Structure 1
Amino acid sequence: MAQVKVTLIHSVAHRQPTQRRTVKALGLGKINSSVILPDNAATRGQIFKIAHLVSVEEVK
């Protein structure tokens, strides 16, 4: 199964509460924190909601 590395590159300060909860649900905390997640529809949907706050890389 493919995986993606998600890195938080912008702060969640002054963002909508739903965006803050999405960042926390993905397992991200501080800026530059990264997490490797499975590449599925649920994860892609969450990433889409906060695409302006994160960077995404494909992991082999």
Structure 2
Amino acid sequence: MSADVKVTLVRSHIGKASSVKAVLVGMGLTKRQKSVTLKDTPEVRGMINKVRHLLKVEE
């Protein structure tokens, strides 16, 4: 069973590439300071890595 990762959007996506916004929407992060808990899978890790400059990640 995989662990969970808590991800919080701490910076806005305004002015960023549309692909960045698409990744955030795919993760369920639509507004600043919103947190979601996701399964720790390679796919989710790749999404986190792409937008890591906008997120706070808690294991």
For the aligned pair, the TM-score class normalised by the smaller chain equals over 0.9
Which residue in 2 is equivalent to 1:38?
39
In the TM superposition, what is the alpha-carbon distance from 1:29 to its structure 2 partner? 1.0
Detail structure 1 runs of 4+ shifted over 3 Å in the superposition.
Answer: none
Query: 1:19-30 maps to which residues of 2 (within 5 A)?
Result: 19-30=20-31
Letter in 2 for 1:16: A
Letter in 2 for 1:18: S
- The two structures, once aligned, show a CA RMSD in angstroms of 0.5
Letter in 2 for 1:8: L
Query: 1:1-60 maps to which residues of 2 (within 5 A)?
Result: 1-58=2-59
Distance 2:31 2:18 in 1: 16
Is the helix fraction higher in 1 or 2? 2
- Can you list the C-alpha shifts for 1:1-60, whole angstroms capped at 9, x where unaligned? 2000000000000000000000000001110000000001000000000000001001xx
